[in-house]
Every structure is written in structure tokens, then in C-alpha cells.
Amino acid sequence: MRLTPRDEADVAEAIRAALARDAPLSIEGHGSKAALGRAVAHEHVLSLVGLSGVTLYEPQELVLTARAGTPLREIVALLDAQNQQLAFEPMDHAALLGGARDDATIGGVIAVNASGPRRIKAGAARDHLLGFRSVTGRGEIVKSGGRVMKNVTGYDLSKLVAGSYGTLAALTELTLKVLPKAETEETLLLSSLGAEKGLAALRKASGSPYEVSSLAYDPQGDAAALRLEGPPISVTTRRDDLARFLADFGGATSVLAADESRAFWSRLRDAEPIAGEGVIWRVSLAPTDGFAFVERLRGADAPLIAHFYDWAGGLVWLRLETAADAHATVIRAIVYALGGHATLIRADADIRARVDVFHPQPSALASLTRRVKEAFDPRFILERGRLRAEF
Amino acid sequence: MSLLMPLPEQAIMARREELIARLRAILPAANVIADETARRAYECDALVMYRALPLVVALPETVAQVSAIMALAQEMSVKVVPRGAGTSLSGGALPLEDGILLGMSKFNRILEVDFENRCARVQPGVQNLAISKAVEYAGFYYAPDPSSQIACTIGGNVGENAGGVHCLKYGLTTNNILGLEMVLMGGEVLRLGGKHLDSELYDLMGLMTGSEGLLGVVTEVTVRLLQKPVSARGLLLAFPTVEAGARCVGAIIAHGIIPGGLEMMDAATIGAVENFQPCGYPLDAGAIVIVELDGTPAEVDHLVAVVESIARDEGATQTRVSQNEAERLRFWAGRKNAFPAVSCIGPDYLCMDGTIPRGRLPEVLTRMDGLAKFHGLRVANVFHAGDGNLHPLILYDASKEGDIERAEKLGADILRLCVEVGGVLTGEHGVGVEKRDLMGEMFDETDLAQQQRVKCAFDPQHRLNPGKVFPTLHRCAELGMMHVQSGKLPFPELPRF
């Protein structure tokens, strides 16, 4: 059954009714991320599309409030008209998960803590959520945070709900920090360095004073890409300074002008270079470990089809041949040794029901995580099983 | 001084000797402070009006010792109050008479600097500024820079989610740490995050940041390091009124510029600063705005020209641009001296910390003025203008009968005003004990109960830093109860698609 509340009070009523019947709810916006996380098939879906609309936007104050079901494209268009943006650059999952492009809601973006190539400079969704309203798994309306940039009044529950996949509370309204768009951008490309040297160049650039906002290496094309954003005069000088700063690495240098640069990074943001048949993983590591991770994976004979590195090597996107465990055992063993976490982004539902989609935690941390879930949703009524089989 | 703290438990006080003996089995003798005179050094933090003598002070040196103390405290049902450098302005480290004061000052080492991954692993007792000092030879720094940065420690910064004058552009503590090691009540040691970004499942590191020492004791922090901008220049802008200054700040941001620093001071503060240590601020101005722009020289020069022209359009009566580093620092000198300068005209002051939507500033100032007159006191104002964080300094004289009480009442009225216009009680100083009883102005009972349930997930017996943040303590069992009624699913299958 699909429940379509009209407002927050309806959401509370729906959750209280679900509690009384012990009927777990999935929470959905437009469903663009329904295939993320462990595979669960709940009979009842709580759709938040009825809670839509921007309720506050003050460009000079850098703040925007929207109901959870507001289409992301609506928010982006509104910001665009004022030369502002969501600086965390949420990825679009359509290239990997199918479905229509550009069909996310802001609630879903926050619920998965989405981010993009600019993460290394601007942060993830978590860093831009100033406050929220929600209905918890207890059926209670709870708010936290506020609409101002600086706020330490009470626990920062915004951090908890960002990335919680709807397992703590159904978000009803979100208040976000928005930022000016850069006047222009360019991308410096260093080609023919090979992965190891290309990644070393990215790390060197990340420690430079030239404010590089994105750093990626794509093996197809053997290109290390460095994005510079800002006023034109600044972008041009930084680009030249950066090219000189990295001259020792050699390789062929080229530049993507503004439009090409935007297209390049939006393709990477949406992980298009690895789109195709197979299972898909997203691995977050220390930047220096990205290359070692892929080498070890190759050494373990994992059937790697495509991959690329973002975040100066700290984020590795992988596509492999499908397998009964989606290669979780071998991937997790390598990540365990290096430190970091690996998330299974795409695999058949039967695999995602069996295999840990999210990285396993040590037992003390796993117990605490469960207690936090219980603090919001003691009956596991919201998205039961989405994050962990136990809750 | 009407503050109510949890009543000391006599049964615990009676077991003090046993507790001390067992702490001495965990720690070297010198690290257990039982002597009253020595304990006095810990009786308050920077919110000096509230004091309490801790039952005993423990100064662990290793994570294993912290864990053992937390396990002992849990076993004996003793409360624990963690403390870094004691610079909290909200009483976050106020001791309890029946509690262990857990001083983290001996955790003072930088464990690892990893430039390639742009991070450093440091112990919680390392001073904020010491991190930047340790990496400056390579051109790096740690961005959050609270005014107390020469004294305050990174563990306390995590506890309070410390900000500083550069946080509009570079973020708060929560945006600048990658990993934490912490010890729970009971002694469990957890690691959150690491050198990678965005750990899966719940962001407990984000939750810990700003939790005021109520959830766990931080024993290690992995901080992000940033490369220092190659150049920075300052602008000193004078305006006839605070309103005009506030309009200019809005216009700068509307132009798409996020300055590294953006501060404002009112006439009362300008006068105090020039009286304290003259630094060339215009005494006839109603407000001054200090803008700092950083980046490559070409970018900075470009932005300086843009900001200067915005300021003129907004009616600046004076615009000065720093021509060298010495001049840039001189622009800042008065701002950095603002608090001691105000205490010279005070003679005492109470520093508030509300944040408001910036557009409401003129209205808030007018009403604040009215409130001050009503209470018969004066207020000087310093703002982190870019992010709307106000520091009204309420001037009073502690030697005058009833002045403290009047100042506290005015402070509470000012914070209520901040909340009323859509702001918050505290932008960076924390709730602690100071704003605890005002939490109800911002949150209803359900909101507060949910926050306390989070506390229960970490510390079900309320043994860690109780009496802070929450106006009333509810038992976790009571908070966990749930009443479920009716069972019919409402409004199904509406034909909306």
C-alpha cells in the first residue's frame, strides 16, 4: 500500500498507524534511490511527494528551506537564478541505477548524504544541512538545528539523519546552507602519466595553495583532472601556477574551458565512466591508499571491468563481473587492511539481501549504532533492514 | 547564582577514599589529585561565576587509563566531567562535587602529521594553535580558530564544535575533522572515521562534535589540514550606522563573495578598543566592518576592488585597504582586543553568543537597546557579521548589589529575542550550564526528549557530565516508553500520480 500524506501531521499519523500494526514502512520520494542499500520489500511505502515546495529562500543569508519531497531540479533552478548552488554537488544515480535522470528529491539527497567531486573542498550533504523537521520512528514530530550558519544549541542531529537512509526519521522539511556559484571554471588535464604517477600529481595538487576544488584520475584516457573555480582572473592565474607546480611530473597538458569542464565533472559526479553491466562498488579510503587498493584487487584476480578515482584517490568507483557475493569478501578484506569503507552500490536484489551492503563495523560500534537506531525507532518501523539485517 | 545542579549523592561522597585508592591503582600517584587546594584549580572554567569543588581530579596519560577510569566510574556509579583547557564560556567543564574531574591535559602530543593525506592525528589536549604551528613550516594550517586558540584544546573544540572568525568560508570543527577515537562510559573504546571521508551508517563523529562532553571522552582526533592561502588583504570599512554596515555585509555576499573573515563592531566597542589600545579605528563611526579576502594575489586584488566599490555604494564613510601584512594585522588587532577592552569600561561583562538571521540585525539591535535600558545596563556589540553570530557584551559591576542578576536577566532576554527572530541560543560557545534553562525557548519537550534518548544510547545512567545542556533529566527507561494506539492505516492510494 502506498501512503501519500499531505503534510507533516499526516506523516505522523501514518507512522503511528504503522507502529500499531507493526507494518514496516519504506520511505520514498521519486524512488530514484530505491535500489540503494540492502534489498527490502515492505508492503507499505510512505511517499513524501505530497510534501513539496520551497518554504524559505533568502539568497543574502545563504539559506533555503524546502519540504522533503521537493524535486531537486526545482531547487537547483531557483538557486541558479540567483547564481547560487548546493556546493556539495549531489550525484545523480540514474546512470548507475536506471530510471529518469534529474529525478531526485531533496529528502533523498540528504537521506543518502550525497556528494560529488567537490566533496574534498566543499563537503558532503551533511556539511550543508543546518536543520530539519521530521517524524521519528516513534511517530513523534521532532525538529533540530536551525536556519543559521553557526549553531551549537543541542546535539547536532542533522549529522545523524544525513546518510541515515530514512531509518531514524521520515524527514519532512530541510534547511540547507547554499553558496554562490563560481563565476567560471576550468580543468587542467595531465595525460599519459599512468595511474600511480597521475594520482601522486593529484595529491601534490591537493596540498597546493591553488584551491583545486576537484581532483580525479580516469584510467580510460589516462588523464589526471584538476578543477579550478572562481573569478576568471583567478582561475587563469591559478591554472598556470598549478601547471608549473606540477611540471616535474611531465605528461601532456591540456585545458578544458568552462562548458567542457562542467560537462566533464558532471559525468564524473554521476559515475558515468563505470556505467554498464555488472556489480558496482564505491570505496572511500585515505587518498594515498586508492592506488594500492586497486592493485591488490587486481592481484586477487577480481574481475575488474572499469574503475576511476575521485577525491585525489580517496574515492574509488568500481565495476566488476557479477558474482554470488558481489566480491564483497575480497574487497572488504583489502579495505579492512588499509582502513576505510566499501559500499555495494548496485547488485541484484537477492545479492543485496544476503551481502552486507554497508561496511561491517567492529562490535562495540555496531552495538552503539543499533542503540542510536533504537533511540529514534525502537520498533524498527522505518526502512527495516535497509542498513543492516538486524534492524 | 540560582543554578540548580544534580544534588551530590551522599553515598558516593562517603566512598571518596575508596574511589581515590582505586584511581591510584590505575594512575601514577601524582595524577590523582585529592588535596583540596590543588583541586581548587579545577573548580571552574571560563564561566567563572559558577564554581564547584570536584570530588577528585584524575589526569590520565593513556587511552587504557581513560578506559579503566570510565569502567571504574560506571562500576561505582560515579559521575565524570571531562575537561580540556577549561576555556569553556558556558560552564561545560563545571565540576560536580560528587564526580571525578577527568583532566585531559596530559594527552598533549601530535601523533602523526600526514601531508599527503592532508591530515594530522593529535591527542585531545593539544592546543588548537599548536596544530597550526606544527605544520606551518610546510605551508599548512588547521582552519577553525576560536579566539581562545592559544589556550583551548582540540578535544574541547570537538566537544563544543568550535568556530572562529574564518568559519564562514572554512567551516567549523565539524567540517574539519576526519576521525575520532573516544571512550564511552563503561570503558569501551571506539574509533570513528579515519583518514577517509564520510563513514557509512550513522555519522557518530558528527554527533559527537558539539555534544559538550555528554556522550564520550575524546582520546584522539584526526584533523584536516589546509594549505595556507598565498596572500590575504584586509579592508577596514566605516559606516554611519550598524544598519548600513549590515547592509554592506549582505551586499558583499549577494555579489557571490565569501570572504575569509567578515566582522563588525558597534560604536561602543570601537570606543572601548581605542581607549584600550588605539589601532586607528574611526571614533566617529557608527560601526566598522573588517573584511579579509584571501587567495592568489590576482584574485585578492580583484575582490578588494569589488568589495571597496560595494562599500562605497552602501554608504561607507571610510574605506581602507591594507597595503602590507602589518597593516592587515593592525586592522584585526582591535577586534582581537575587543573583549579585554570592553572589560576596562565594564568593569565586568557577560558575553552572549546568539545567532540570528543577518537581515534581522537592525531590529534586534534596536530591541536589544530597549532591553538594556529596561534592565539599567549597557551593551557593547561584536559580531561575526558573515554568519549572524552576535556577541553582545553586557557590562556590569560585580561589586554592585544585584548587578550580576540584572546582567543574567538581560542576557536571557537577549537570547529569547534571538530565538524569536528565527535564530538560536548559542552559535559557538555551547549550552553548558549557562543556557541550559533556556533550551525550552528553542525546543519543545518532544525535541528535548529525543535528544536525551540519544544521550541514553551512549550513557544510560546519565553519569557523563550530567546537569549540562538539558534543563531536566529524565530517566532513560521513562524516555524509552512508547504508547501505541489504533491500527488503521490512513489515506491510502490517493490517485495523485
pLDDT at B487 over 70: no
Which whole number is the average pLDDT over A188-210?
A: 97
Q: Which of A168, A234, A359 is opposite residue B299, by nearest beta carbon?
A: A234
Q: Identify the weakest region by mean pLDDT among A240-254, B325-339, B437-451.
A: B325-339
Whether the Cβ atoms of residue A148 and residue A216 lie closer than 8 Å to each other: no
Does position A203 have pLDDT exceeding 90, yes or no? yes
Note the pLDDT of residue B2. Answer: 54
Amino acid identity of residue B460, one-letter, is: P
One-letter amino acid identity for A69?
G
Secondary structure of residue A17 in the 3-state scheme = helix
Contacting residues of B for A158, CB less than 8 Å apart: 206
What's the pLDDT at B199? 86
How far apart are the CA of B469 and the nearest CA of chain A, in angstroms? 7
Residues of chain B with C-beta less than 8 angstroms from the C-beta of A343: 200
pLDDT tens profile A98-151: 999 999 999 999 999 999 999 999 999 999 999 999 999 999 999 999 999 999
| Mean per-residue pLDDT of chain A | 97
Three cell numbers, residue B78 = 560515579
- What residues have CB less than 8 Å from B425, skipping those under 6 apart? A153, B353, B354, B415, B418, B419, B431, B435, B438, B439, B441, B442
pLDDT at B6: 84
Average confidence (pLDDT) over B13-27: 98
% of chain A surpassing 70 pLDDT: 100
Residues A140, A149: Cα–Cα separation, whole Å = 26
Determine which of A316-320, B170-174, B333-337, B443-447 has the lowest per-residue pLDDT on average: B333-337
- Measured in whole angstroms, how far is the alpha carbon of residue B51 from the centre of its chain? 20
Residue A46 with chain B: CB contacts under 8 Å: none
Across the interface, whether the CB atoms of A368 and B190 are under 8 A apart is answered: yes
Nearest-angstrom CA–CA distance, B434 and B39: 22
Q: What angle do CA A241, A247, A248 make, to 5 degrees?
A: 140
Percent with pLDDT over 70 in chain B:
97
Q: In CATH, what class is B9-103? A: alpha beta
A266-270 mean pLDDT: 98
Do B454 and A181 count as a contact with CB atoms less than 8 A apart?
no
* Residue in this structure with the C-alpha cell 556577541, named with its chain if needed: B391
Count of beta carbons in the 10 Å neighbourhood of residue A297:
23
Residue A136 phi/psi, 5° resolution? -75, 175
DSSP B174: G
For B30-43, what is the mean pLDDT? 97
User: Residue B497: is its pLDDT beyond 80?
Assistant: no
pLDDT tens-place string over residues A297-307: 999 999 999 99
pTM to 2 decimal places: 0.96
Of B139, B163, B485, the CB nearest to A150: B163
Contacts of B492 in chain A (CB under 8 A): 1-3
Which pLDDT score is estimated for B164?
Answer: 85
Q: Which pLDDT tens digit goes with each residue over B334-366?
A: 988 898 898 888 788 999 999 999 889 889 989
- With CA atoms as reference, report the closest residue to B418 among A147, A129, A127: A147
Q: Do domains B231-339 and B346-429 have the same CATH topology?
A: yes
CATH topology of domain B110-227: 3.30.465
pLDDT at B194 over 50: yes
**In a 3-state reduction of DSSP, which class is residue B425?**
coil
Of residues B148 and B289, more confidence is placed in B289
Looking at beta carbons, which residues of chain B come within 8 Å of A51?
Answer: none
| Among chain A residues, CA nearest to B161 | A152
Quote the CA–CA distance of A84 and A30 in Å, as a whole number. 24
Give the right CATH number for B346-429 from 3.30.70.2740, 3.40.50.720, 3.40.50.2300, 3.20.20.210.
3.30.70.2740
A6-20 average pLDDT score: 95
In single-letter form, the type of residue at position A29 comes to G
Residue A311 Rama label (left phi>0; alpha psi -120 to 50; beta): left
d(CA B205, CA B195): 13
**Dist. CA B474–CA B448, nearest whole Å:** 10
A204-212 average pLDDT score = 95
Strands (E), chain A: 2-3, 25-28, 44-47, 54-58, 63-67, 84-85, 129-136, 141-145, 169-177, 179-180, 184-191, 212-218, 223-230, 252-256, 279-285, 304-310, 315-320, 340-346
Question: pLDDT class for B491, splitting at 50, 70, 90?
Answer: low
Facing residue for B253 by CB, picked from A62, A209, A311: A62
Low-confidence winner among A137-151, A286-300, B386-400 (lowest mean pLDDT)? B386-400
Distance CA A328, CA A325 (A): 6
CA atoms B320, B324, B328, B331: torsion sign:
negative
Query: Per residue in B118-134, pLDDT tens?
Result: 999 999 999 999 999 99
Beta carbons of B464 and B216 less than 8 angstroms apart: yes
Percentage of chain A lying above the pLDDT 90 cut = 99
Q: What is the pLDDT of residues B239-297, one digit of tens each?
A: 999 999 999 999 999 999 999 999 999 999 999 999 998 989 999 999 999 999 999 89
Average pLDDT, chain B: 94
Q: Quick one: cell of B177?
A: 575533522
Phi and psi at B406, nearest 5°, equal -60, -45
Q: Which uninterrupted H or E stretch holds B111?
A: strand B110-114
Question: Given pLDDT bands bounded at 50, 70 and 90, which one contains residue B495?
Answer: very low
The one-character DSSP state at B464 is: B
Name which of B254, B448, B489 is nearest A1 (Cβ-Cβ): B489
Give the minimum alpha-carbon distance from B384 to chain A in angstroms, rounded to a whole number.
10
Extract the C-alpha cell encoding A334.
583489502
> Rounded to an integer, what distance in angstroms lies between the CA atom of residue A176 and that of residue A295?
39
Specify whether domain B231-339 bears CATH 3.30.420.40. Answer: no
| CB distance A273 to A317 below 8 Å | yes
Lowest-confidence region among A367-376, B138-147, B342-351: B342-351
What pLDDT sits at residue B489?
67
What average pLDDT does range B428-439 have in this prediction? 96
Residue B482: closest C-alpha in chain A: A138
Q: Is A312 left (phi over 0), alpha (psi -120 to 50) or beta?
A: left
> Which residue type occupies A82?
Q
Whether residue B489 and residue A14 make contact (CB cut-off 8 A), yes or no, is: yes
Q: What is the rounded radius of gyration, in angstroms, for the C-alpha atoms of chain B?
A: 24
Confidence of residue A288 (pLDDT cuts 50, 70, 90): very high
Strand order in the sheet with A2-3: A2-3, A44-47, A25-28
All residues of chain A having their beta carbon less than 8 Å from the beta carbon of residue B486 are: 16-17, 20
Cα pseudo-dihedral A142, A146, A151, A154, rounded to 10: -10
Would you say B129 and B147 are in contact if contact means Cβ atoms under 8 Å apart? no
Higher pLDDT, B20 or B361: B20
Mean pLDDT of B416-433: 96
Alpha carbon distance A256, B430 (integer Å): 46
Domains and CATH numbers, chain A: 2-180 (3.30.465.10), 184-270 (3.30.70.3450), 275-354 (3.30.70.2740)
Interface predicted TM-score (ipTM) over 0.90:
yes
**Among B203, B250, B484, whose Cβ lies nearest the Cβ of A60?**
B250
- At residue B492 the predicted structure's pLDDT band, cuts being 50, 70 and 90, is low
Report DSSP state, residue B394. Answer: E
φ, ψ of residue B200 in degrees (nearest 5) = -75, 175
Question: Listing from the earlier edge strand, what are the strands of the sheet with B318-321?
Answer: B318-321, B231-239, B287-295, B261-266, B378-384, B389-396, B348-351
The x, y and z cell numbers of residue B308, run together, are 571597496
Kindly tell me the sign of the dihedral angle through the C-alpha atoms of A335, A341, A346, A352. Answer: positive
How much helix, strand and coil, in percent to the nearest 5, is found in chain A?
35, 25, 40
Which pLDDT does position A263 carry in this prediction?
Answer: 98
Q: Is the pLDDT of residue B494 over 70?
A: no
Residue spans of the domains in chain B: they are 9-103, 110-227, 231-339, 346-429, 443-490
What's at A356, amino acid-wise?
D
What is the CB-side half-sphere exposure of residue A59 using CA atoms within 13 A? 19
Query: Do B428 and A373 count as a contact with CB atoms less than 8 A apart?
Result: no
SS3 A46: strand
- Kindly state the cell numbers that stand for B50: 559558577
